[in-house]
Homo-oligomer: A and B are copies of this chain.
């Protein structure tokens, strides 16, 4: 099974929950989760910028094989580019199109 997590909230508690859930999916003892993707847009972007409290957690998830996809429309609106994000995060043209594509491919969606 595959899961896409929509990291779209600027609320730090919700951001932490999203990252914890990504970790818990990876750690699932039944081994039923094959892939976890995190699509980041709007105020969720703050959680994957370098220099944030969440940086270590994001790095660990990337190391564990979680993919992070940052919405380029959000980056442009926030005057950011990929170099402002934790290394390993991938930019995609539009986060909502990416979420739609993953769900259409069979990924389960969640928005903590």
Contact = CB atoms under 8 A, between A and B. Distances in A.
A104 B106 contact: yes
A111 B109 CA distance: 10
Q: How many copies does the complex hold?
A: 3
A66 interface: no
B104 A110 contact: no
Given A3-B100, A100-B3, A42 B112 contact: yes
A110 B96 contact: yes
Given A1-B104, A108-B103, A96 B42 contact: no
Nearest to A10: B13
Interface in A21-68: 21, 24-25, 27-30, 32-33, 41-43
A108 B112 contact: no
Nearest to A32: B97
A96 to B, nearest CB: 5
A13 to B, nearest CB: 7
